[in-house]
Amino acid sequence: MCGPLYLPNVFTSGQVAPRRGAPFSGKYGCRLRFFPMRRRHTLAAMFSNYLAAALRHLVRSRFYAALSIAGLAVGICVVMLMLLVVRNETGYNRVVRGADQVYLAVSTLKPKQHPADYNTAVSHTLAPALKLRFPQIGAIARLDAHNVFLERGAVRARERIYWADPAFFEVMPLPVIAGDLRQALHRPDGIVLPRSVARKYFGRDDPLGATLQLDRDQTMTVTAIIEDLPTGATDLETGIFASGLLARSTLAGFDRTPVDPDSFLIDCTTYLRLAPGASIETIRAGMPPIAASQFARRPPGLEYEIALLRIDEAHLFPGLNPGGRTRVMTLAGIGVLTLLVAAINFVNLSTARASRRAREIAVRKTAGASRAALIVQFLGETLLYVLLATCMGVALTELLLPWVNSFLQTGAAFDYLSDPALLGWLALGIIVLTLCAGLYPAFVLTAFRPATVLKGVIAQVSGSNFARQTLVTLQFAVLIGMLVAAAVVYQQRSYALNDALRVATDQHVLVETQCTPEISSDIRKLPGVRSAGCSNECLISGNCFDNIRMVDGSLTAYGTASAEAGVLGSLGIEPIVGRLPDVTTTQVLINEQAVRRFGFSSAQDAIGKLIPDSSTRNPPREIVGVVPDFSMNSVEQPVGPMVYSTSVRGSNLLDVQLTGQHVPEVLAALDQLKPRFNPNDTLKRYFLNDRIQDLYQAMLRMAQAFSVMAIIAVALACLGLIGLSAAATDRRTKEIGIRKAMGAGDREIVGLLVWQFTKPVMKGR
């Protein structure tokens, strides 16, 4: 049957297409006329053919397609989870509108030859001083956290609230549900609640004008309702804000108390917002004289600075969160490496089965398809695989993200439908992954020569086997590196919790209180208590220090802590030289770092020497013993020189060591002694073990994350090897048959195939 035929332009570059309507001879001797299709029809037909070929190949190679898509989906899921966590950690406090214009004032104490101490608290006098000095500040406000009881009807609970200056919401505008935030704290009894707290006490979202009791004797009026603050994404914990104008608030108390010029207080948090068009550098340049006036009579050898940190960068500031940025970047690296393993699997499986598509490629080339068109076709197939894997990866991410947030204690969110930036990054990632995973297989697949293939001789593309072995080697090198890193992190955690601590933390309860020897004596009489003693918080935090003038006249700093005589012994701290001090204020212990810092030739040489007291009113103190270096802070903070005294003056911590029996009864008895500690507040107590675990929680989570990701990567690599071995067995069917015909047994055949895949793995070491 002959007639007019519409044909696409399939002529190669060496052929000349006939003019439109020109006759030419077709099959069966028919005289046909050439009517080329319109370009848009040609493109549509081309893409439909590409899609049909990709779907046919996917259905025909279901096993290998499932391995490739599943591997990519897991890799995409892991990298998305890790990058969402990184995005959350690097975007802390982004819930605040215009967070890039809001800054946090941070106190920095720098003793000479001693680690600097960073604190988010500053003096309450800083805010008015900055507002008066710098017109570049649009608004400034103070914040002070406090634990109170809130009550309405039958609902009564202990809550953590923030006493805030009236201008706080001008500095930190938060998402509001009801009320006027800018005026909410201008009345002394005003209180702002998040949605969940409003529902807890009032059962609805907008109880504006309703009242509730604070500590049973103060009526507070709800002036605004804000959205719940995201967990793990802001430094503001509860979102309950009360007016600092109230006479009983801590901010009002600070303002009423005269400032002692000889004292140095850091008692509240201060935030500032820049005025439109203002530069933070102008304010930073003027901060040194402000800091000097805040601590005018500081001891010699001590520097005090005030740093201004943007609130979305403060969370990962090394002084406030040592090692935080490294941990976050490590998580991102783990995700990228896992995706790399999955992409290598895809490349290897695509190239290993290249010979299966040799005839298809030869026929297409013979029909006039150029190599560039074939490369586009195979990239399109890769894009189809990546899109399917991305859909699966997105579903897995939505399923697993709540678990990851709970495990890593973050507030990462995956709102890709309402976040154009996230969608844009996802689209860019799909394109990059398609190019990285598809370009090399596309070049390998299109390198076959049609004449050779159609003659029945299908040869391996030059260099493809070597490249595949190289990729397998790289893959297992990455895996081994991840496993080694996981082992190192685990060993670091084990060292930090056991060897580096050097403190017996078991069965120790710490009670924050104004402690006296009489109180500790009464606690020791309780059944189930092995020992009890007063100390100051410096024993736990290690943030107290003093200066000593050396023989050459220079000043050096050392850490200080005080505790009753039995406290160090109950913690398992025994002198390596000398003895524990008597119950006196003139005898002290020092640690090994102090021996070196003070210039003693040995620990024994330090015994009997005197340390001048920082106050000239007190006599020098005698060194009677040297203890090992120990710290109850994170191992990331180095242990400095320490001096331990037995003075209980100003003690604010009670250490209670339990026998392990009658623990509930002991804790209940401690709670019943609450009026002796602080009648106006609840007793705050915690186990020392819990505090240590909290310190190393980030390290523990990192070790566990490393382990999980390494296991996932190993599983992906093993799936890739399964696919490669299946493809190799399929490709070498004739060879295996000949070997069996020549007498080779199953064991020899299996050994041959196993050795083929063992060599690149061994190179990966």
Nearest Cα neighbor of 686 from 521, 562, 508 is 508
The confidence score (pLDDT) of residue 453 equals 64
The confidence score (pLDDT) of residue 585 equals 66
Would you say 360 and 428 are in contact if contact means Cβ atoms under 8 Å apart?
no
Would you say 579 and 625 are in contact if contact means Cβ atoms under 8 Å apart?
yes
Would you say 641 and 594 are in contact if contact means Cβ atoms under 8 Å apart?
yes
Ordered mean pLDDT values, 10 residues apiece, the chain (765 residues): 44 46 46 49 65 74 81 89 87 86 90 78 89 92 90 88 93 91 92 92 90 88 91 82 91 83 78 91 90 76 86 86 80 84 80 69 76 82 89 92 84 80 87 86 76 60 60 72 74 68 80 80 84 84 72 71 82 85 77 86 88 66 87 74 81 83 78 55 74 74 76 76 64 69 71 62 53
Would you say 8 and 40 are in contact if contact means Cβ atoms under 8 Å apart?
no
Structure tokens at 154: 């039958």
Q: Which residue has the tokens 């406290």?
A: 567
Q: Give 651's Cβ-side CA count (13 Å radius).
A: 24
The confidence score (pLDDT) of residue 105 equals 93
Output Rg (C-alpha) for the chain, integer angstroms: 36
The confidence score (pLDDT) of residue 759 equals 58
Would you say 591 and 629 are in contact if contact means Cβ atoms under 8 Å apart?
yes
Say if strands 610-611 and 302-310 run parallel, antiparallel, or are unpaired: unpaired
DSSP 337-398: HHHHHHHHHHHHHHHHTGGGGHHHHHHHHHTT--HHHHHHHHHHHHHHHHHHHHHHHHHHHH
The confidence score (pLDDT) of residue 5 equals 41
Nearest Cα neighbor of 175 from 209, 243, 244, 225 is 225
Would you say 81 and 404 are in contact if contact means Cβ atoms under 8 Å apart?
yes
Could you give the CA distance from residue 77 to residue 61 in angstroms, rounded to a whole number?
24
Could you give the CA distance from residue 689 to residue 701 in angstroms, rounded to a whole number?
17
Could you give the CA distance from residue 452 to residue 315 in angstroms, rounded to a whole number?
63
Q: What is the DSSP letter of 122?
A: B
**Single-letter code of the amino acid located at 123:** S
Could you give the CA distance from residue 137 to residue 551 in angstroms, rounded to a whole number?
47
Please list the alpha-helical segments (H only) found in 152-244: 168-171, 181-184, 195-202
Q: How far is CA 182 from each of CA 96, 101, 176, rounded to the nearest angstrom? A: 14, 18, 11
pTM for this model (two decimals): 0.72
Would you say 268 and 124 are in contact if contact means Cβ atoms under 8 Å apart?
yes
Which H or E run includes 418?
none
Would you say 339 and 79 are in contact if contact means Cβ atoms under 8 Å apart?
yes
Could you give the CA distance from residue 160 to residue 149 in angstroms, rounded to a whole number?
9
Let me know how many helices (H) and strands (E) the chain has, helices first.
26, 25
Would you say 656 and 509 are in contact if contact means Cβ atoms under 8 Å apart?
yes
Segments making up each domain of the chain, as ranges: 1-37, 43-92+328-504+696-731, 99-311, 508-695, 732-765
Backbone φ and ψ for 8, nearest 5 degrees, come out as -75, 165
700: left (phi over 0), alpha (psi -120 to 50) or beta: alpha
Residue 340's contacts (CB-CB under 8 Å, 6 or more residues apart) are 75, 475, 478
Could you give the CA distance from residue 379 to residue 700 in angstroms, rounded to a whole number?
42
Could you give the CA distance from residue 190 to residue 245 in angstroms, rounded to a whole number?
9
- Rounded to 10 deg, the angle between the 62-90 and 324-352 helix axes is 160
The confidence score (pLDDT) of residue 613 equals 62
